[in-house]
Amino acid sequence: MSVEHRWLEKYPELGSNPISTEPYISPDWYEKEREKIFRKVWLCVGRANELPKAGDYKVKRIEAAGTSVILIRGKDGEVRAFHNVCAHRGNTVVTEHGQETYGKSRAAVITCRFHGWVYGADGALRSVPSEQRFYSCFDKGHNGLTPVHLSLWEGFMFINVAETPETTLGEFLGDYAEHFRGYPFDSLDYGFTYRTELECNWKVAHDAFAEAYHVDTIHAGSFPNVFSTGLQNVKLMGPHRTCAVCLTLDAKPTPVAGIANRMAGASLVSQRGESMLPKTINPDHRSDFAFELSVIFPNTLLHVSEGIWFTHQFWPLAHNRTLWEGRYYVKAPTTNAERWAIEHAMTLQRNAWLEDTATMEDTQRAMQSRAKTLQHLQDDEILIRHGAVVVDQYVNA
């Protein structure tokens, strides 16, 4: 296998031709993605531990699926999902505040503020003010909240807004689920969130994290000469994909970063152990392994390493607007020194993400000029090529 074209030789079915920019800039293509992808496949909408007690709820607005969804934990401990639509006159039951809204209900009920209809955490309609004034065709038992399919994997909540999903979550994740099974996500629960809206297509944002080719240029300030550009252990698993990103072992961190790494190990810019990693991750025990970079189709990037895991999610708002949500998790600090070291790592990570942001919006503006209609990908941009092929397959299915 040649070093220059190793991924093409391993996955020749993806081809080597340039890929079109049209799916990144076309409103018509975006509408097809909404219908054929976001309204049909399983979507990751958070962690079950976000709702620790009965009556805790979260509302997630998903523009690309044309709905918002209530996720609520019942008194029986189960988390269920429902469309955020009242059966009376179609108002939202829970008033939304942005793309995510959290709340608590000691009685494990939610009430529509418009006319006071009350729903239980099981979705049943419990109370209707002036119920006697409705006509005989009204049946309270048949006017509960409309359920949304929900399933869990490793503590992640997935929903599917299709009336009848084409697959179970297990079938959808396939080999991907086994690849990450057993990683201790719940034990690393000290988190930071980064959220912003970008003037770019969701795939433009997504692709910016699907290769390490840009690190030496875009991240020369945050991560100078830290990561080698070549991806390792690339695995394509149906619509999903994963690979290893590796360190440049002789790179030296700044003095402050070096101190922070020794105190908490909360930064990816350091050599890491592998006691937490499933055997499928870094199977050849590379000493330069930094982290596993993976994609859960369509819009969730999951990264794991020793003592760190984080996600990026790119939620389409329009054909040229995207909500970017980044979440970074480590073990909670036990000393002030560890907390300082973690805060340093988070600041460094935030700076790197801000460096990425500028390229995304510039890319969208340039693509929209149609001065260039093709993207020429090199071999280590295999994840971008795979993503383009999978999206095309869904849209044209």
- Tell me, what's the pLDDT at 88? 94
- What letter would DSSP give residue 255? H
Mean pLDDT across the chain, nearest whole number?
Answer: 92
Do 217 and 169 belong to one domain? no
The reply to whether 33 falls in a domain is no
Q: Tens digit of pLDDT for each residue in 238-278? A: 999 999 988 876 767 778 877 887 888 787 777 778 899 99
Among 245, 219, 259, smallest CA distance to 343 is for: 259
Among 146, 178, 160, smallest CA distance to 45 is for: 160
Cβ-based neighbour number of residue 199 at 10 Å: 15
Q: Tens digit of pLDDT for each residue in 370-395? A: 999 999 999 999 999 999 999 999 99
Q: How many domains does the chain have?
A: 2
Cβ-based neighbour number of residue 396 at 10 Å: 8
Half-sphere exposure of 26 (CA within 13 A, CB side): 12
Among the ranges given (181-185, 219-223, 384-388), the one the predictor scored with the smallest mean pLDDT: 219-223
Q: Tens digit of pLDDT for each residue in 136-175? A: 999 998 999 999 999 999 999 999 999 999 999 999 999 9
Do 77 and 199 belong to one domain? no
Do 183 and 307 belong to one domain? yes
- Measure the CA–CA gap between 84 and 71, rounded to whole angstroms: 9
The torsion of the CA quartet 51, 57, 62, 63, rounded to 10 degrees, works out to -150
The reply to whether 38 falls in a domain is no
Q: Name the 3-class secondary structure at 19.
A: strand
Do 163 and 246 belong to one domain? no
CATH code where residue 262 lies: 3.90.380.10
Do 165 and 182 belong to one domain? no
Q: Tens digit of pLDDT for each residue in 272-285? A: 788 999 999 999 99
Do 263 and 148 belong to one domain? no
Do 166 and 179 belong to one domain? no
Q: Tens digit of pLDDT for each residue in 362-371? A: 999 999 999 9
Do 213 and 182 belong to one domain? yes
- Tell me, what's the pLDDT at 219? 67
Please report the sign of the dihedral spanned by the C-alpha atoms of residue 214, residue 203, residue 381, residue 41: positive
Say which residue, 346 or 236, is predicted with more confidence: 236
The reply to whether 373 falls in a domain is yes
CATH code where residue 155 lies: 2.102.10.10
- Tell me, what's the pLDDT at 324? 95
- Say what the pTM is: 0.94
Sorted by sequence, the CB contacts under 8 Å of residue 9 that are 6+ apart come out as 1, 2
Domain boundary among 142, 173, 204: 173
The amino acid that residue 189 corresponds to is: D
Do 242 and 373 belong to one domain? yes
pLDDT-derived band at 209 (thresholds 50, 70, 90) equals confident
C-alpha separations of 143 from 91, 128, 292, 294, 377 in Å: 14, 11, 46, 41, 52
The reply to whether 34 falls in a domain is no
Mark 150-183 as b/e (b = at least 16 C-beta within 10 Å).
bbebbebbbbbbeeebeeebeebbeebbebbeeb
Q: Domain range holding 162? A: 43-173
The reply to whether 187 falls in a domain is yes
* Residue 221 predicted with pLDDT over 70: no
Domain boundary among 131, 152, 173: 173
Do 297 and 183 belong to one domain? yes
- Tell me, what's the pLDDT at 228? 67
Do 187 and 327 belong to one domain? yes
Q: Tens digit of pLDDT for each residue in 28-80? A: 999 999 999 999 999 999 999 999 999 999 999 999 999 999 999 999 999 99
Mean pLDDT within 123-134: 93
The reply to whether 36 falls in a domain is no
- Tell me, what's the pLDDT at 188? 94
- What letter would DSSP give residue 247? B
Q: What is the largest CA-CA distance in the chain?
A: 78
Do 182 and 163 belong to one domain? no
Sorted by sequence, the CB contacts under 8 Å of residue 311 that are 6+ apart come out as 44, 300, 301, 302, 303, 325, 326, 327
Q: What token pair was written down for 89?
A: 């006159």
The reply to whether 37 falls in a domain is no
The reply to whether 96 falls in a domain is yes
